[in-house]
């Protein structure tokens, strides 16, 4: 008997079969735990596993399943339906001002200064975007028509479908009155597919405020982008900017087309979140399951150093368990 920790997955490349069992065991432990225990933040839990040979069950020799890895954006930008890439502005690292890639600036240095600082309301992912708008709607420095701001092309262009709803969520803070236009547009920004303007008085956004609404597109566009623009002078901070299609696989946030294909394979198990990705090149970059559950805005995310990109862990342990890929009931755990 011993306690199970996620570090069982971070051992050096062991025999593949052994690793698979480790993963299944952890998955199963969690299924079991969530059904009988309510987790309370800050409370330590202890899980004991009786792994003695007498309680062992033989693994069926014809058990076919699927192995999913966060590689080449198979998760973020693939199976996971989130459209905004680097939605929390953490991908450029913890030191500010940081690279905001793949966000781009709309306007130039005479109209807007864009950077990052560590003023987010989220303790574990402190980086926020800061936009200092120098131009205005009148006076000597008039903003270009369409305004200035930032845009995000998502993962190589957002696929926006006509009449489908898109759930937009973002956090805003401002030193002044706010008038921000949030739109889905063509890849050059010239053609608007859907748009909403958020306004507020001087006091309304002095503290971070979460805004949520839905956008409906009038057209299909497989290469769209999200724009956040303004023609109002002042400083605006943004954080945790998300655009999620309303229509996802069983409402769990997985892309319907891709998740249906996986389900149609009728896998008897799903191994996730990967091989190299699960353990990382360094332990600090491993997939730590405890940081991939709970409100997505508060997940710290991590560097996927195995495959060279940042993941915000929006597709986390919680989301994987919702797809029912895991048939783990053949393993029995005892207290």
Ligand X SMILES: *[C@@H]1O[C@H](CO)[C@@H](O)[C@H](O)[C@H]1NC(C)=O
Nearer to ligand X, 161 or 176 (CB): 161
Work out which of 69, 117, 161, 176 binds ligand X, going by CB under 6 A: 161
- What binding mask, one character per residue, do residues 211-240 give for ligand X by CB under 6 A, x or -? ---------x--------------------
In angstroms, what CA-CA distances link 137 with 142, 146, 209, 232?
5, 11, 24, 6
78 vs 275, which CB is nearer to ligand X? 78
Among 3, 7, 55, 110, binds ligand X (CB under 6 A): 110
**How near is the Cβ of 109 to ligand X at its closest, in Å?**
6
Structure tokens at 289: 């399951």
Q: Give the x-and-dash track for 177-216 against ligand X (CB under 6 A).
A: --------------------------x--xx---------
Q: Tell me which stretch binds ligand X (CB under 6 A): 102-110, 124-132, 165-173, 234-242.
A: 102-110
Site residues for ligand X, 312-331, by CB under 6 A, read 322-324
Number of residues counted as binding ligand X (CB under 6 A): 14
Indicate which single residue of 144, 157, 275, 300 sits in contact with ligand X (rule: CB under 6 A): 144
Residue/partner pairs of 42-51 with CB below 8 Å, 24 or more apart? 46/3, 47/3, 47/4, 48/1, 48/2, 48/3, 48/334, 48/335, 49/1, 49/2, 49/3, 49/4, 49/25, 49/333, 50/1, 50/333, 50/334, 51/1, 51/2
DSSP track, 210-253: EEEEEEEBSS-EEEEEEEEEE---EEEEEEEEEEEES--BTTTT
User: Should residue 298 be labelled a site residue for ligand X when binding is judged by CB under 6 A?
Assistant: no
């Amino acid at each position: 008997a011993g306690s199970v920790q996620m570090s069982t997955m971070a051992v050096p490349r062991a025999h593949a079969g052994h690793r698979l069992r480790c993963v299944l065991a952890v998955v199963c432990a969690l299924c079991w735990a969530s059904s009988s225990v309510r987790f309370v933040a800050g409370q330590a839990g202890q899980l004991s596993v009786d792994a003695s040979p007498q309680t062992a069950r033989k693994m069926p020799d014809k058990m076919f399943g699927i192995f999913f890895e966060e590689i080449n954006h198979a998760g973020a930008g693939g199976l996971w339906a989130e459209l905004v890439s680097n939605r929390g502005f953490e991908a450029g690292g913890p030191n500010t001002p940081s690279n905001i890639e793949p966000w781009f600036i709309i306007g130039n240095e005479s109209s807007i200064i864009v950077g990052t600082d560590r003023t987010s309301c989220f303790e574990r992912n402190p980086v926020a975007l800061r936009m200092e708008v120098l131009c205005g709607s009148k006076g000597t420095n008039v903003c270009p028509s369409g305004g200035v701001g930032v845009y995000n092309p998502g993962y190589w262009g957002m696929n926006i479908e006509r009449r489908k709803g898109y759930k937009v969520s973002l956090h805003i803070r401002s030193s002044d009155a706010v008038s921000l236009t949030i739109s889905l547009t063509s890849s050059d920004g010239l053609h608007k597919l859907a748009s909403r303007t958020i306004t507020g008085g001087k006091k309304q956004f002095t503290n971070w405020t979460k805004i949520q609404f839905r956008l409906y597109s009038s057209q299909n566009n497989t290469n769209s982008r999200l724009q956040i623009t303004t023609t109002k002078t002042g400083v605006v901070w943004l954080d945790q900017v998300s655009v999620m299609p309303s229509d996802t696989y069983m409402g769990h946030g997985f892309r319907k087309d891709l998740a249906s294909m996986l389900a149609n394979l009728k896998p008897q198990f799903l191994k996730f979140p990967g091989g190299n990705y699960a353990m990382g090149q360094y332990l600090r970059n491993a997939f730590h399951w405890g940081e991939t559950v709970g409100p997505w805005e508060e997940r710290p995310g991590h560097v996927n150093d195995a495959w060279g990109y940042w993941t915000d862990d929006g597709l986390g342990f919680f989301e994987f368990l919702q797809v029912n890929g895991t048939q783990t009931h053949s393993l029995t755990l005892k207290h």
